[in-house]
Amino acid sequence: MRTLPSGLQIDDTRTGDGAEARAGCEVQVHYTGWLWKDGEKGAKFDSSRDRNETFAFELDGGMVIRGWDEGVQGMKVGGQRTLIIPPQLGYGARGAGGVIPPNATLCFEVELVAVAGGSEPMDLPFETTASGLQFHDAETGAGKEAIAGSRVRVHYTGWLWKNGAKGRKFDSSKDRGVPFHFHLGGGEVIPGWDEGVQGMKEGGRRILIIPSELGYGAYGAGGVIPPHATLCFEVELIKV
């Protein structure tokens, strides 16, 4: 059993040889869940196998408990993994549905049946700043440079980011067809933007990988960005 920094424990009881589950993928699984205490399984509270029906969800999309979003990533189709999920990654102090008590540790056996979609890992020569921000200029602009105090107009798209790949898209000015305006360096946006857009030139396009401490931190945002999330933005500088 391997313990991750979050406190999640995982054990691959069977290694699959199919497609890998990554953030943003639609996955189908079979699972059985038990309460877990003193290193042993307790009462079984749910099983897709008992219903003879797989369960599908978007991985790292906030559709399931955090222990699942973290624990299923990296599995391959055909694989089976045991997850020991501490309460802070499960149902916490509230429990769930009368069958999972407050502050319960859970055990799941998960079999990955199918994977669809998801992004390939992004292999780009990112530069890393002293703050931990990473950036790559996909296109270098030839116009006016964005400096602190400038009012800038940008188009952007944002995704969750995990294991070197884009996950779920959570926002895009391009989808709305309306550029976004802000004063650079004025604290109107997350720190990763205030730092990451500086130095761009009009017409340029930059990819930013923003660690959680330069993004939305321990609180997340708006129900679409989970706590401690690393973010990926593609930003196009339209006007300074």
Could you list the active site residues? 31, 45-46, 65, 91, 108
Backbone φ/ψ region at 92: left (φ over 0), alpha (ψ -120 to 50), beta: left
**Tokens standing for residue 59:** 């991985």
Asked if 55 and 47 count as a contact pair (C-beta separation under 8 A), the reply is no
Hey, what long-range contacts does 95-101 have (CB within 8 A, 24 or more apart)? 99/43, 99/45, 99/46, 100/35, 100/45, 101/35
Within 8 A by CB and 6+ apart from 193, the residues are 182, 208, 210, 233, 235
**Residue 196 three-state SS:** helix
